[in-house]
């Protein structure tokens, strides 16, 4: 029978070996290019964010971060690819509000967003802007609610399609306000924006970056933002939450996750690279110009954020009977 001293010595040696192995992994990683999976097409808003951050990470890591666009099924194709990848840190996934919306709308995805990935960090977020065609009588959220209640189903809002953040923001608002809005899905955000600009639809819950130029030219009326708190980018614009819906919050966000069981030292290395990238003055300026606020939170905080976003969306979708299953 081994003595207590011998057992303790072996445990100590095992612990030291594990520590040295972890240090070795951290020092060696990365030794080859990394794949950064973006679940939207080249040139999209998500793609622009991914290439900005990926380029910054390349400069930090000394290895090329190669953006790969794997599109389709509201991000499910790219997500499944990464979920099944080797957990060595060389395959990353850009996740966004689209991913939690898709998970909340369907229980049949080939992966579990909250259980099959290792969070790295949230990169940036931005509220959507609630914009209206100038012909709409409502000039504020209270006026919009009053109008919609007097004309159920007559006030329309366009989106980039069921499953897009521009859809979920409108659906959540309608559910919380107790109004019936007519949802008109389009094939993309550009078409939805054109529709509200021409008066084909009356509302859009769209990204600040694409709607702000039209607001400034008078082509659209800005009613509110969809964030929980006022945006530092537009501090004088009220939120939907301020209008009497304190639990309302929606918008666009982007983050990075890895396959489940990726070593912690690798996660830390990649997170540090992201933080350095988004801390770069030029990258930070470009994100700000696109309407985003940089985040860079801890993996645990990002995991909690995604869980809360998913559960809030699922509860609201169930309340209004929306599903894509």
Domains of the chain, start order: 9-125+252-319 (3.40.190.150), 127-243 (3.40.190.10)
Tokens of 15: 């612990």
| Side-chain half-sphere CA neighbours of 106 within 13 A | 17
pLDDT at 64: 98
Q: Which residues of 21-36 are buried (b: 16+ CB within 10 A; e: fewer)?
A: eeeebeeebbeeebbb
pLDDT at 27: 64
Largest CA distance in the chain: 87
pLDDT at 15: 39
Quote the CA–CA distance of 120 and 195 in Å, as a whole number: 37
Strands 117-132 and 203-207, how do they pair?
antiparallel
Counting Cβ atoms within 10 Å, is residue 19 exposed (0-12), middle (13-18) or buried (19+)?
Answer: exposed
For 155-202, list the strands marked E by DSSP: 156-159, 182-185
Backbone angles phi, psi at 241, to 5 degrees: -55, -40
pLDDT at 285: 94
pLDDT at 26: 52
Q: Which residue's structure tokens are 């949802």?
A: 183
pLDDT tens, residue order, the chain (325 aa): 444 545 455 444 433 443 444 444 456 899 999 999 999 888 888 899 999 999 999 999 999 999 999 988 878 999 999 999 999 999 999 999 989 998 998 888 999 999 999 999 999 999 999 999 999 999 999 999 999 999 999 999 999 888 888 998 999 899 899 999 999 999 888 899 999 999 999 999 998 888 999 999 999 999 999 998 898 889 999 999 999 999 898 888 999 999 999 999 999 999 999 999 999 999 999 999 888 999 999 999 999 999 999 998 888 788 777 776 6
Counting Cβ atoms within 10 Å, is residue 13 exposed (0-12), middle (13-18) or buried (19+)?
Answer: exposed
Quote the CA–CA distance of 215 and 195 in Å, as a whole number: 15
């Amino acid at each position: 029978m081994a003595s207590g001293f011998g057992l303790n010595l072996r445990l100590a040696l095992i612990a030291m070996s594990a520590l040295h192995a972890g240090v070795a992994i951290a020092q060696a990683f990365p030794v080859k290019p990394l794949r950064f999976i973006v679940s939207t097409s080249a040139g999209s808003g998500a793609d622009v964010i991914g290439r900005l951050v990926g380029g910054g990470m390349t400069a930090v890591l000394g290895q090329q971060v190669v953006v790969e666009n794997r599109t389709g099924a509201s991000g499910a194709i790219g997500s499944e690819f990464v979920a099944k990848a080797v957990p060595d840190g060389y395959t990353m996934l850009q996740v966004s509000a689209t991913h939690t919306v898709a998970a909340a709308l369907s229980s049949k995805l080939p992966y579990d967003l909250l259980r099959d990935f290792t969070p790295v960090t949230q990169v940036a977020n931005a509220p959507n802007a609630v914009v209206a065609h100038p012909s709409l009588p409502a000039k504020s959220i209270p006026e919009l609610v009053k109008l919609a209640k007097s004309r159920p189903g007559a006030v329309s809002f366009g989106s980039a399609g069921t499953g897009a953040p521009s859809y979920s923001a409108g659906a959540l608002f309608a559910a919380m306000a107790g109004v019936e809005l007519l949802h008109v899905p389009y094939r993309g955000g550009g078409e939805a924006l054109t529709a509200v600009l021409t008066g084909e639809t009356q509302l859009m819950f769209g990204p600040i970056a694409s709607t702000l130029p039209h607001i400034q030219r008078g082509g659209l009326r800005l009613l509110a933002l969809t964030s929980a708190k006022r945006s530092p980018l537009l501090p004088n614009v009220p939120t939907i939450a301020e209008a009497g819906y304190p639990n309302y919050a929606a918008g666009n966000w982007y983050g990075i996750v890895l396959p489940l069981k990726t070593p912690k030292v690798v996660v830390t290395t990649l997170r540090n690279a992201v933080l350095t990238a988004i801390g770069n003055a030029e990258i930070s300026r470009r994100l700000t110009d696109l309407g985003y606020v940089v985040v860079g939170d801890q993996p645990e905080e990002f995991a909690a954020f995604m869980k809360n976003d998913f559960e809030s969306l699922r509860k609201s979708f169930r309340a209004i009977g929306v599903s894509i299953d």
